[in-house]
Structure 1
Amino acid sequence: MSTIVDDRYQLLAPVGKGATGVVWRAYDLLLERDVALKEIALPPGPEAAERRRKVVREARMAARLSHRGIVTVHNLAEESERLWIVMEFLEALTLHDTLVQAGPLPVDLVAKLGRRLLEALRHAHAGGVVHRDIKPANIMLTGDRVVLADFGFAAFENAATTSMRGTPAFIAPEVLQGRGGTREADMWSFGATLYMAVEGRTPFRTVDSMAALVEALREPPRTPRRAGALEPVLLGLLRKDPAARLSSEQTHAMLMNVRRHSAA
Structure 2
Amino acid sequence: MELNVDEVIERYVGSFGLPQLLQVMLVSFAWVFDSQNTLVTIFTDAQPSSWRCKTSADPSLSSSWCMNNTASGGDGNKGQSASHVCGLAAGSWEWIGGNSASTIAEWYLICHRKFLAAIPTSLFFIGSIIGCAFYGRLTDVWLVRKKTLLLACILTSTTTFLTSLAPNIWVYSLLQFANGFAHSGNGICCLVLSTEVVGRKWQDQVGQYGFFFFTAGVLSLPFIAYHTRTYWRYLYRIISLPPLVYAFLLVSLVSESLCWLLVRGKNKEALEVLQKFAR
Give the TM-score of the pair, scaled to structure 2.
Answer: 0.22
Which structure carries more helix by proportion?
A: 2
Higher relative contact order (CA 8 A, sep 6+): 2
Give the TM-score of the pair, scaled to structure 1.
Answer: 0.23
Which structure carries more strand by proportion?
A: 1
